[in-house]
Amino acid sequence: MSAGQASPAASGSREPRVPRDPVRALQHALYRAAKADPGRRFHALFDKVCRRDVLQRAWVAVRDNNGAPGIDKTTVAQVEEYGVDRLLDEVAAELRERRYRPLPARRVLIPKPGLKDQYRPLSIPPLFAIGSCRRL
């Protein structure tokens, strides 16, 4: 099922309504396909990751979460100063050309709740660290 086929259901239908948001429609279509066939393999997802609306949604999630700097120490403010549109265009281009290589995640130890002197690891990925943005 394609994202285009995951349109809002007709009124009176037993099918649940699908949001008109294209990213949400894509997520819903993938969810329904996976539920219909649990053994299904999704071989053609790469082109969907490169979509501008998907990358924009990812950026909004990072910004809204007040994403912490990763190993490259790039902050949300630095990305916004660099230009979100510029960065997302560069990310999309590197993904399409298969040149994107993510930086390693920053690992920190955080205390376990309620347990004295015990810690658990937490991985903090970089904020879209690519190309010229790595030099911020």
Give per-residue pLDDT as tens, 83-101: 999 999 998 998 899 888 8
Could you read off the pLDDT of 9-60 as tens digits, one per residue?
444 556 566 558 899 999 899 999 999 999 999 888 888 888 999 999 989 8
Q: Quote the pTM value.
A: 0.69
Q: What is the DSSP letter of 3?
A: G
Task: Tell whether 41 is covered by a domain.
Answer: no
Task: Tell whether 61 is covered by a domain.
Answer: yes
What the block records as the tokens of 98 is 């298969």
Do 114 and 50 reside in the same domain of the chain?
yes
CB 87 within 8 A of CB 128: yes
131, pLDDT greater than 70: no
Do 14 and 79 reside in the same domain of the chain?
no
Which of the four pLDDT bands, split at 50, 70 and 90, describes residue 125? confident
Instruction: Print the domain residue range for 29.
Output: 3-36
102, pLDDT greater than 70: yes
Do 90 and 127 reside in the same domain of the chain?
yes
How many structural domains compose the chain? 2
Instruction: Determine the pLDDT at residue 61.
Output: 87
104, pLDDT greater than 80: yes
Phi and psi of 111, rounded to 5°? -65, 145
Do 62 and 9 reside in the same domain of the chain?
no
Question: Helices marked H in 46-118 — which ranges?
Answer: 46-49, 52-64, 76-82, 84-96
3-state class (DSSP) for residue 124? strand
Task: Tell whether 94 is covered by a domain.
Answer: yes
Instruction: Determine the pLDDT at residue 19.
Output: 59
Do 23 and 58 reside in the same domain of the chain?
no
Could you read off the pLDDT of 61-83 as tens digits, one per residue?
888 888 788 888 888 999 999 99
